Structure 1
Amino acid sequence: MHFHMIIVAVFWFGFVDSRKIRGISSSYKRFFRERKSFLCIDGSKIIPFEQVNDDYCDCEDGSDEPGTSACPQGRFYCTNLGFRPHYIPSSRVNDGICDCCDASDEYNSHAHCQNACWNLGQRERAYVEGQMRTLDEGLQLKQQLIEEGVLLWREKQAQLRELQQVAEDLQTKLEERRSRKQEADRLKEQTPRPPEAGDGRLFRGQNSTVTGTFKLLDSNKDGSITVDEVQAKVALVHDEERVLSEDEAVIKDTHGAPGVGEDPPLKVADREWEATNLKKVEEAYDTVNMEISDLREKLAIDYGPDWEFLFLNSQCYKLKVYEYTYTLCPFNQVTQQSTAGTEVSLGRWGMWEGPPKNQYGRMVYENGEPCWQGGSRSTTVTLTCGTETALRSVKEPSKCQYIMDFQTPVACQPVLKQRGIHSEL
């Protein structure tokens, strides 16, 4: 009889001991060391230790029943050796469904659970190792893009300085051209008006009739006028007397002498040439100033502390989702195009809006085309680490509000410890 009592006592203490440590993490085991009494973890009550895990909830926080489903607010700790430990609601304990991969939550049920923690852990470790390799490669690519960004930034600055110098030179030339044009216009206004009809004076001191003019030019009286005769006799009205060139003489022999008050053909051509050149210089000056304004606007954008995002400027990335093609042009705009060809703006570049620890982790594009429900379309772009730069996904969680996943090496961040790997693995 005494022997049987000893066996029962050993069995009871073994049962109580195993019962007390179920559903408890290593960090909470210190609360269950006392064998005489138990203080609820929230400090609200002290109960006899025999009431711990007795399938009756005594503590308001449920801390006295970590291994049973008695407390509505209770939690059961899955140790899951070989995988990630985690808590489940105590209501799932012994409910016939294996929630812990080590099957520890179904210790007193008819469920036949196998320990799957090792296989799950192996798969997760392979995934994490792949992520770490991606991170390492992404960080290497990011460093290259940082170096390229610095060089590109310097090139843009040098380009801006060159454009500014060109603008200064064009401004000087423009002022000269305008001054010359004003002087030409002033001289033209001062030119005497041509004589009234009937006056007919073509040459200084000579009869204005056609016959008189012909006789004046026909020096040898042979009935014809040669180039030499024109050169010898004709001087341009309003010019000092001089000998004409052969080309000028041919012009006058062919078309007749200009009337009083008319500009010589060469002067008219010069004035037209000046006007044309002035227009060209004005157009060039306006074009250069537009380029300067555009370049300054681009350089004013925040491309990251090391200009690592600068390479994204002037680039566009597309992704087809069902009947729509989405296009993301970083630091510019986001668009959506249907199969019918209709394009809709989903927002223009607004700002960086990442969390404090990762300021450059999220882009916001605002003021897209109006939505039929009111307001304008907008897009939030989340940047994720990857070995290539590409638009990965597009979602519309609410009407006219879009979310994009954009992968790029410059989004990779060095970490001290990969999250999700527990020391118990």
Structure 2
Amino acid sequence: MQNVIKSLCLVTFLAAVKAHQHASFSNVFNPLTDKRFYREKKSFLCIDGSKIIPFEQVNDDYCDCEDGSDEPGTSACPRGRFYCTNLGFRPHYIPSSRVNDGICDCCDASDEYNSHAHCQNTCWNLGQRERAYVEGQMRTLDEGLQLKQQLIEEGVLLWREKQAQLRELQQVAEDLQIKLEEHRRKKHEADRIKEQTLKALEAGDSSLLRSQNSTVTSTFKLLDINKDGSITVDEVQAKVALVHDEERVLSEDEAVALLGGGYQMDLTKFQHTLWDILTEGDSVKIRDTHGAPGVGEDPHLKAADRAAEWEATNLKKVEEAYETVNMEISDLRKKLAIDYGPDWEFLFLNSQCYKLKVYEYTYTLCPFNQVTQKSNAGTEVSLGRWGMWAGTPKNQYSQMVYENGEPCWQGGSRSTTVTLTCGTETALRSVKEPSKCQYIMDFQTPVACQPVLKQRGIHSEL
């Protein structure tokens, strides 16, 4: 009976050679490479070369070799391994101690050849399920790789667009820099004229005021209330007052006299008549904007004030535009400095956010920006800001790390590790908190699909 069992186990072991030509495991026996050791002959050499024993002692339920190689089909050796053929499913090894222990470890029941356990061969059903799963994974991978290629093409175009946008903004900034210098010069000049006008008024230098031709037009426009290009009697009465009797409104005759004897005058006539009278400032002056005369209402000074204010307003607008463009340039440069993958395939994730509700919390992942957690009560907590890629050396783009979130009540700051997995759509799949304030997320996206995965198919025996 012992010889029958020994032969049966040896046949089982050798059958694995034919059924699993590519099986290979470290630190265990390989049916393909070790077949020569189990050919029936007068003696058996332990695979580690430590001992030679009679071949009759192979599978005799007694451990003779230190490496357990003489007992591949029994549980005699503590270091022994039993090879499960598992035709129709995945072959594998189990410790020899599990052979004939009454528990079915091999799906083909080959490990319980001499026990009272009633094992059924489930390898085919297991193989079918795994084949269906792997086929589904392969279909997902194929579709994901196709979508990834599209995203790569979009990423390249988007990268070029952003580079062009950066160049355009830089050109706008250069143009605004030139305008900024010009408006600064104009404001400085307007401030200088205003200062000179004020000094001239204080010194009573009317000849200097008359040399300021620009104030003539400004004063004319101030008096021309209805903006029809002429000054009338009514407009003179409304805007001009006597220096020594500011409250009294000029009579019609007085207004006509100021208009040179007529009832209206244009800019040319104004410059040679009423302008000179106003410039002298001895008899009449211009009322303030509210219709009442007051101190410091000289038309020259008012014109200089308006010119200075105008230039100051223009300068402020250009400064704000210049600052805005520079902020846009800085923001765009920061975005372009991020590693979006070798083909910019992850670029489309920038400025996007993905949400997932888990119980009473809503988690939001904004790639290359931040991760947040929001409760039903509306309280939002930062779980970290974009830090770096932290994948394996073979695939550094398989994990993202978000650091320096809000502090935990126990100290330290919150952080999140995001694992990217292959899928046909881009979505946040799961969120867990394995340790206090340390979060992990599963983020599915086609750009995480790797062509190398297609080489990891199931064995042909499935």
The question of whether the paired residues in 1 share the 8 Å contact of 2:241 and 2:287 is answered with no
- More displaced, 78-87 or 203-212? 203-212
CA distance in 2, matches of 1:3, 1:207: 104
| 1:383 Cα offset (Å) | 1.0
- More displaced, 216-225 or 124-133? 216-225
TM-score normalized by the length of structure 1: 0.78
What does 1:50-61 correspond to in 2, within 5 Å?
50-61=56-67
| 1:153 Cα offset (Å) | 0.7
The question of whether the paired residues in 2 share the 8 Å contact of 1:258 and 1:264 is answered with no
Q: Deviations over 1:315-374 (max 9, x none)?
A: 011111222221111111111222222222211111112222212111111222222333
| 1:398 Cα offset (Å) | 2.2
| 1:67 Cα offset (Å) | 1.1
| 1:194 Cα offset (Å) | 8.8
Q: Which runs of 5+ in 1 are unaligned?
A: 12-28
- More displaced, 93-102 or 219-228? 219-228
Q: Deviations over 1:62-118 (max 9, x none)?
A: 222211112222221111000111111222111111111101011111111111111
Partner residue, 1:348: 385
The question of whether the paired residues in 2 share the 8 Å contact of 1:81 and 1:118 is answered with yes
Q: Deviations over 1:173-232 (max 9, x none)?
A: 111111111112222222345989999999999999999999999999999997299599
Identity of aligned residues (%): 91
Aligned in 2, Cα 1:40/1:323: closer, same or farther, shift over 3 Å? farther
CA distance in 2, matches of 1:384, 1:220: 73
CA distance in 2, matches of 1:114, 1:317: 47
Aligned in 2, Cα 1:205/1:398: closer, same or farther, shift over 3 Å? closer
The question of whether the paired residues in 1 share the 8 Å contact of 2:200 and 2:208 is answered with no
The question of whether the paired residues in 2 share the 8 Å contact of 1:200 and 1:208 is answered with no
Aligned in 2, Cα 1:402/1:313: closer, same or farther, shift over 3 Å? same
Q: Which runs of 5+ in 2 are unaligned?
A: 1-19, 30-34, 257-285
CA distance in 1, matches of 2:173, 2:229: 61
- More displaced, 332-341 or 113-122? 332-341
The question of whether the paired residues in 2 share the 8 Å contact of 1:391 and 1:406 is answered with yes
Q: Deviations over 1:380-409 (max 9, x none)?
A: 111111100011111222222221111111
The number of equivalent residue pairs is 407
2:294 pairs with 1:259: yes
| 1:300 Cα offset (Å) | 0.6
Secondary structure of the corresponding residue to residue 325 of structure 2: helix
CA distance in 2, matches of 1:376, 1:10: 46
Secondary structure of the corresponding residue to residue 8 of structure 1: coil
The question of whether the paired residues in 1 share the 8 Å contact of 2:190 and 2:311 is answered with no
Secondary structure of the corresponding residue to residue 203 of structure 1: helix
Q: Deviations over 1:275-326 (max 9, x none)?
A: 2221111111111100000000000111111111100000011111222221
TM-score normalized by the length of structure 2: 0.72
Secondary structure of the corresponding residue to residue 245 of structure 2: coil
Aligned in 2, Cα 1:248/1:157: closer, same or farther, shift over 3 Å? farther
Aligned in 2, Cα 1:246/1:134: closer, same or farther, shift over 3 Å? farther
Superposed CA RMSD in Å reads 9.3
CA distance in 1, matches of 2:101, 2:79: 16
Partner residue, 1:15: none
The question of whether the paired residues in 2 share the 8 Å contact of 1:103 and 1:115 is answered with yes
The question of whether the paired residues in 1 share the 8 Å contact of 2:238 and 2:291 is answered with no
The question of whether the paired residues in 1 share the 8 Å contact of 2:247 and 2:292 is answered with no
Aligned in 2, Cα 1:389/1:329: closer, same or farther, shift over 3 Å? same
| 1:34 Cα offset (Å) | 5.1
Aligned in 2, Cα 1:131/1:230: closer, same or farther, shift over 3 Å? closer
